[in-house]
Structure 1
Amino acid sequence: MTTRREGRELALQALYSKDLVSQDPNHTLKRIIESFGEGEEPTLLANSKAYAFASEIVSGVSAHLAEIDARIAEKSKHWSMTRMARVDLNILRLAVFELLYRPDIPKNVTMNEAIEVAKKFGSDDSASFVNGILDEIASTVTDKE
């Protein structure tokens, strides 16, 4: 597993947790690291680069949540955001953040990573759902954004 994948998974957990309890997702991210940073085997959570990437995603999603959610709502035909599974919604949020604010990450990498995270954390339909909405959003994102 790559460092960035590890970071995306950490970010997803923090963003998902924010949806369950009204708590700062950066605080939640730190708690996740503290909870799983010890043990007999080295864990992905001990990776400081993964944590730094996760922190950047969480901060970015939080700072641009209204714009990110507007993009998702615009492209999610027949699905209100309140009907979306929280895991799927937060995978979309972190991927849309990357599409809009991380031009150094190729669009296809962002999309493939989101699909893989959806396969791991979501339902049987999550990967195709995430792929469909991200494909619509990615087609509207220019390299200048």
Structure 2
Amino acid sequence: MSRRQARCAALQTLFQLDFNNILDKENAINAVLDITKTLKESDSSYMYELINGAIDNKQYIDEKISAVSGDWRLDRMPAVDRNILRIAVYELEFGDENLTPKIIINEAVELAKQFGTDDSGRFINGILGSIVRE
């Protein structure tokens, strides 16, 4: 499995947690891992880093997103877009990897194209571009 697949698994986990308040993090992770089954140890570690980082820094991340999203409040955004943004902002602000903003934005847009609406890629690109320009 690749880093993109680790991001995909992290997105699926965060999406579950966003919609199901009674589900705990470990159950959500296990449900996703049961489906993917091919996560290498290094990618599994990265998935955990993304999930824990997005959750642990959620308030800060959500404030960064809200500051540039104009009339789009977080609770009005599609859950897929919201969680892709949380992962990407975590990577931009806190990630240990030496990834350029361009790579992070591209990966987020690819996830949006795969899981979001027809407009998700442009929306994600615009929000993340604004955050990087700040």
TM-score, scaled relative to structure 1: 0.85
CA contact (8 A) 1:26 1:58 kept: no
| Cα displacement (A) at 1:47 | 2.5
| Matched AA of 1:101 | F
| Matched AA of 2:57 | H
Gaps of 5+ in 1: 38-44, 141-145
Question: Percent identity, aligned pairs only?
Answer: 34
| Cα displacement (A) at 1:30 | 2.2
Matches within 5 A, 1:11-30: 11-22=10-21, 23-30=23-30
Cα deviation code 1:31-87 (max 9, x no counterpart): 2112442xxxxxxx3332222111100000111000000001111012111110000
Range moving further from structure 2, 27-36 or 74-83:
27-36
Measure, in 2, the Cα distance between the counterparts of 1:79 and 1:124.
Answer: 17
| Matched AA of 1:127 | G
Equivalences, count: 132
Of 67, 74, 79, the match for 2:60 = 67
Partner of 2:111: 117
Structure 1 residue 136 and structure 2 residue 112: aligned? no
Cα deviation code 1:113-143 (max 9, x no counterpart): 0000000000000000000000001122xxx
Matches within 5 A, 1:28-43: 28-37=28-37
More helix by share: 2
CA contact (8 A) 1:26 1:59 kept: no
Measure, in 2, the Cα distance between the counterparts of 1:65 and 1:86.
Answer: 14
Gaps of 5+ in 2: none
CA contact (8 A) 2:6 2:39 kept: no
Say what the alpha-carbon RMSD is for the aligned residues. Answer: 1.4
Measure, in 2, the Cα distance between the counterparts of 1:9 and 1:89.
Answer: 14
Structure 1 residue 107 and structure 2 residue 101: aligned? yes
